[in-house]
């Protein structure tokens, strides 16, 4: 047995009993009629109410029909009605949850806020009614057909998935990979449905399993009170109801065995959701993969030359939250080919500045942005959201810290890169694969075909950061903005990533803005340094000059805390 087959066998043997039980239930639902020893719908008065025996394992009912055969056949009705009703409720509730959650999180106009609020109040009204009573009223009004029962299940469970997905969207939209998707030019709905919704799948799957069990119970309950599946179709609730009147006579089997079967089905579905959700979560990186081969970074050559063309111009940029300026009246320029570092202590406003520059703050409520951001002479703030998305990734591109959190954990590396490529280009599949393989090779990743099939959790930190660099360079932007690009990496990998990123930026003629707290990175890789404190720029100068003699006392204090010695200080 090969290693891969052995691992699959071990993983199967380690499955939770709930998964095995659900598999058995689904198998019976599909093949139960074929497994039935007797016809489950043909009455035989000569054998009515026979107790359990070797011939009739669960006895017979008041019509002389084998109870065991009817139970096996009833799985098809109960399970598939519940399954279809639940899937329909997910199909309706989940997309609405994405829309409400993502729009609510980014809505600025009163119309959007009122629409969201009205939708949620309608959901509240629906959920205010007892579920069983509401379903019974709907089925009684429309008729007790299978289609109407499925529709009733979807109607009462749809709001559950709407609220669940909405809450997941509100939490996930703040994750780094969501901001990264916005920064590479993904549209609002692409971010919601392609990047965020897959990450809510484990939670949705867990709820789906519980809801299926509840829907089976609801279907049986409707049949028990006479509002569900009509006889003689085998159905657990109807079997329990018809057999209950004989229990007082001591003939307990027509009602007990269907009741036990119903309880076991609901129990195993309710317990199997969490395990199913865990199986959907990508596996963690193995010890062997943690030290995967990465090609050496190209040698970095310091380049010094004049920069006649301005790539990025920031004038009096202010970012306010609740009337408080977290970025206050910031102005600077970045020339073509120039490498500039923005340094400062934690809380200086560096990351908010980056978010404003790459456009991830403009559509978020609560942030008020003023000033002017010019990219290649074009006013970035005056662009429409669609125009801004066209520029993100092609004109200005970010490289965020912690590449493993920036990459979508539920999407393979290759699929994530394809989404970024499709945001701005139209290529046939063969050309896409060639382009992606070439990008990974360009950033020094060996065996790129295998890495494209990997999940982010299967990559080391350095390799994930190289993938992020490949994403940023994909469309050859003129401006590369990096926010703590080596945070969380060891010293050796830091040097490799920085050398690689800088060499590629130089070779493609990009302007580079490096935001960092590491003064060593700023000194080695940048031509000019901008120092920020409390949201303001306190000093800007050439790298050699600022390290020899900083003008601002705030700069001097920052440098001294980092262990910098000023050889020519006064």
Query: Residue 105: what pLDDT?
Result: 58
Q: What are the Cα distances from residue 48, in Å, to 54, 221, 224, 254?
A: 16, 25, 21, 10
Classify 366 as helix, strand or coil: coil
Q: Which superfamily does 13-42+50-280 belong to?
A: MetI-like (1.10.3720.10)
Radius of gyration of the chain (CA): 31
Query: Residue 14: what pLDDT?
Result: 52
Q: Does a cis peptide bond (omega within 30 degrees of 0) precede residue 2?
A: no
Query: Residue 1: what pLDDT?
Result: 44
Distance CA 34, CA 24 (A): 15
Which residues are within 8 A (CB) of 8 and not within 5 positions of it... i.e. 6 or more apart?
Answer: none
Q: How far apart are the first and last CA of the chain?
A: 75
Fold of 310-404+479-561: Rossmann fold (3.40.50)
Each domain of the chain, given as residue ranges in start order, spans: 13-42+50-280, 310-404+479-561
Query: Residue 305: what pLDDT?
Result: 42
Do 98 and 116 touch, CB atoms closer than 8 A?
no
Query: Residue 93: what pLDDT?
Result: 92
Distance CA 190, CA 517 (A): 33
Query: Residue 307: what pLDDT?
Result: 43
Name the strand (E) or helix (H) holding 483.
Answer: strand 479-483
Burial state string for 328-358 with b = 16 or more CB within 10 A and e = fewer than 16: bebebbbbbbbbbbbbbbeebbbbbbbbbbb
Q: What is the pLDDT along the chain (570 residues), one digit of tens a residue?
A: 444 445 544 454 455 677 788 889 999 999 999 999 999 988 888 898 999 999 999 999 999 999 999 999 999 999 999 999 999 999 999 999 988 887 665 655 666 678 788 888 888 888 888 888 889 888 888 887 889 999 999 999 999 999 999 888 887 877 777 777 777 677 777 788 878 888 888 888 888 888 998 999 999 999 888 888 877 889 999 999 999 888 888 899 999 999 999 999 988 888 776 666 666 565 544 444 444 444 444 443 333 344 446 688 899 999 988 788 889 999 999 888 899 999 988 888 888 888 888 877 766 777 888 889 888 778 887 777 778 778 888 888 888 777 788 888 888 888 888 888 877 777 767 688 888 888 888 888 888 888 898 888 888 888 888 888 888 888 888 888 888 887 767 777 778 888 888 888 888 888 899 998 888 888 888 999 999 998 899 999 999 888 888 888 888 888 888 776 655 544
Smallest CA-to-CA distance from 62 within 260, 231, 261 is with 231
Do 153 and 85 touch, CB atoms closer than 8 A?
yes
Q: What is the sign of the dihedral through the CA atoms of 97, 102, 106 and 108?
A: negative
Query: Residue 410: what pLDDT?
Result: 82
Query: Residue 280: what pLDDT?
Result: 59
Going through 358-450 in order, the beta strands assigned E by DSSP cover 367-375, 378-379, 396-399
Going through 336-442 in order, the beta strands assigned E by DSSP cover 339-343, 367-375, 378-379, 396-399
Provide the edge-to-edge strand list for the sheet that holds 310-321. Answer: 324-335, 310-321, 367-375, 378-379
Residue with tokens 């951001």: 373
Q: Look up residue 357 and give its two tokens.
A: 């520059």
């Amino acid at each position: 047995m090969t290693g891969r087959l052995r691992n699959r066998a071990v993983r199967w043997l380690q499955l939770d009993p709930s998964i095995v039980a659900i598999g058995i239930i689904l198998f019976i639902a599909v093949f139960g009629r074929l497994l039935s020893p007797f016809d489950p719908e043909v009455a035989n008065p000569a054998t009515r109410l026979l107790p359990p025996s070797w011939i009739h394992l669960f006895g017979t009912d008041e019509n002389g029909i084998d109870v065991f055969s009817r139970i096996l056949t009833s799985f098809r009705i109960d399970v598939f009605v519940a399954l279809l009703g639940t899937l329909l409720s997910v199909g309706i509730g989940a997309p609405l949850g994405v829309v409400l959650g993502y729009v609510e999180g980014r809505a600025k106009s009163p119309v959007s806020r009122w629409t969201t609020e009205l939708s949620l109040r309608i959901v509240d009204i629906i959920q205010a009614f007892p579920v069983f009573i509401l379903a019974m009223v709907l089925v009684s009004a429309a008729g007790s057909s299978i289609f109407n029962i499925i529709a009733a299940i979807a109607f009462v469970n749809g709001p559950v998935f709407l609220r669940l997905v909405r809450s997941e969207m509100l939490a996930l939209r703040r994750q780094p990979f969501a901001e990264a998707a916005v920064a590479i030019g993904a549209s609002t709905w692409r971010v919601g449905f392609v990047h965020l919704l897959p990450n809510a799948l484990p939670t949705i799957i867990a709820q789906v399993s519980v809801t299926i069990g509840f829907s089976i119970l609801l279907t049986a309950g409707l049949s028990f009170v006479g509002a569900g599946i009509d006889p003689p179709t085998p159905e657990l609730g109807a079997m329990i109801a018809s057999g209950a009147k004989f229990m007082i006579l001591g003939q307990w089997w027509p009602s007990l065995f269907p009741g036990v079967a119903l309880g076991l089905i609901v129990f195993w579905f309710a317990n199997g959701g969490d395990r199913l959700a865990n199986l959907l979560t990508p596996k963690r990186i193995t010890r062997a993969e943690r030290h995967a081969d990465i090609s050496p970074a190209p040698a970095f050559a310091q380049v010094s030359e004049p920069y006649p063309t301005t790539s990025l111009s920031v004038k009096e940029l202010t970012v306010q939250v609740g009337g408080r300026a977290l970025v206050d009246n910031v102005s600077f320029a970045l020339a073509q080919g120039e490498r500039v570092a923005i340094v400062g202590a934690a809380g200086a406003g560096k990351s908010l500045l980056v978010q404003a520059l790459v456009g991830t703050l403009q559509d978020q409520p609560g942030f008020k942005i003023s000033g002017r951001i010019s990219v290649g002479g074009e006013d970035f703030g005056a662009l429409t959201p669609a125009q801004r998305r066209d520029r993100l990734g092609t004109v200005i591109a970010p490289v965020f810290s912690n590449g493993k959190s920036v990459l979508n954990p539920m999407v393979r590396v290759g699929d994530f890169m394809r989404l970024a490529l499709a945001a701005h280009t139209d290529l046939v599949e063969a050309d896409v694969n060639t382009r992606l393989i070439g990008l990974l090779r360009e950033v020094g990743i060996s065996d790129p075909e295998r890495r494209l099939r990997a999940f982010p959790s299967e990559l080391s930190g350095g390799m994930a950061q190289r993938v992020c660099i490949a994403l940023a360079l994909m469309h050859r932007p003129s401006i590369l903005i990096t926010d703590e690009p080596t945070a969380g990496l060891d010293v050796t990998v830091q040097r490799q990533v920085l050398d690689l990123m800088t060499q590629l930026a130089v070779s493609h003629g990009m302007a580079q803005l490096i935001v960092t707290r590491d003064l060593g990175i700023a000194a080695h890789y940048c031509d000019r340094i901008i120092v920020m404190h409390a949201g303001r720029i306190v000093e800007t100068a050439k790298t050699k000059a600022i390290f020899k003699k900083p003008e601002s006392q705030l700069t001097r204090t920052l440098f001294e805390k980092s262990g910098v010695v000023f050889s020519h200080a006064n």
